Structure 1
């Protein structure tokens, strides 16, 4: 599978190793980019970082979809990412004065994100894929 297919196609399957390597790269990119943007453009970091996150969301969803396919599940399981995205958007970032003003919506979205994130972690990160070919393609090597 080419890099283009890996990062931008929602077809096929990937194994756990590929999924974990991608996640390490994904979070390293986020931390590195956020650190760099905060150092270089602190005034605009709150605008630039969400744009970057949207750009790298597509490869993340593509690889996660392939991992769901390896588990013989459809891409509809990507909907478990919605609470994660909402949870990230509703939690106040970088403003310690807002930490004690947590709303019920923030608590609910954080709990939903935790549950869905744990489910994704177990299914995609720890459980083996389907042996042999399945409806989404051949077993990844």
Structure 2
């Protein structure tokens, strides 16, 4: 499996292990960038962090797409990422322009947060916890076939 295929292609299947490796790396760098930017450049953090998320959006969707394919589901399921994407981009920018006196979140922010939690939980369960389809499906061969022909229980 090539990095180019993993991060920039919406075809094929990956196992849960690969999905988790990507997500651990993704969130590690997200927290690192967030920490460094807010610590050393707090005045621009509301703009730099969303730009970072936009830069990693395509690779994140490509990896998640392959995981949906392993579950024998199409790219339409990527729409569950929409509330998460909007929240990641909108919230840091909203913090920069919000009224510092008001501590109440807007109705839009509250609804987006609730929908984001529900969608995120669904993605977590489907892509992160449930096993992929056994054998070949509409999106290709099972990704966890071992060299001896046996199938690992990790996809």
Instruction: Calculate the TM-score normalised by the size of structure 2.
Output: 0.83
Equivalent residues in 2 for 1:52-67, closer than 5 Å: 52-67=52-67
Aligned length: 141
Residue 69 of structure 2 corresponds to residue 69 of structure 1: yes
Q: Please report how far the alpha carbon of residue 100 of structure 1 lies from its aligned counterpart in structure 2 after TM superposition.
A: 2.5
Q: Please report how far the alpha carbon of residue 9 of structure 1 lies from its aligned counterpart in structure 2 after TM superposition.
A: 0.6
Deviating above 3 A after TM superposition, structure 1's stretches of 4 or more consecutive aligned residues are: 90-99
Q: Work out whether residues 12 and 136 of structure 1, in 8 Å CA contact, stay in contact via their aligned partners in 2.
A: yes
Structure 1 pair 98–26 and aligned structure 2 pair: CA distance change class (3 A) = farther
Quote the Cα distance in structure 1 between the aligned partners of 2:37 and 2:101. 22
CA RMSD after TM alignment:
2.0
Q: Which runs of 5 or more structure 2 residues have no equivalent in the other structure?
A: 145-155
Q: Please report how far the alpha carbon of residue 98 of structure 1 lies from its aligned counterpart in structure 2 after TM superposition.
A: 6.2
Q: Work out whether residues 7 and 59 of structure 2, in 8 Å CA contact, stay in contact via their aligned partners in 1.
A: yes
Aligned to 1:131: 134
Q: Which runs of 5 or more structure 1 residues have no equivalent in the other structure?
A: none
Q: Please report how far the alpha carbon of residue 38 of structure 1 lies from its aligned counterpart in structure 2 after TM superposition.
A: 2.4
Which of 109, 120, 123 in structure 2 is aligned with 1:120? 123
Q: Work out whether residues 90 and 109 of structure 1, in 8 Å CA contact, stay in contact via their aligned partners in 2.
A: no
Instruction: Calculate the TM-score normalised by the size of structure 1.
Output: 0.90
Structure 1 pair 138–48 and aligned structure 2 pair: CA distance change class (3 A) = same
Rg comparison, structure with higher value:
2
Which of 89, 101, 105 in structure 2 is aligned with 1:102? 105
Quote the Cα distance in structure 2 between the aligned partners of 1:74 and 1:14. 14
Residue-by-residue CA offset, 1:3-54 (whole Å, 9 max, x unaligned):
1100111110001011111110000010111112223322222222211110
SS in 2 for 1:130: coil
Quote the Cα distance in structure 2 between the aligned partners of 1:72 and 1:65. 10
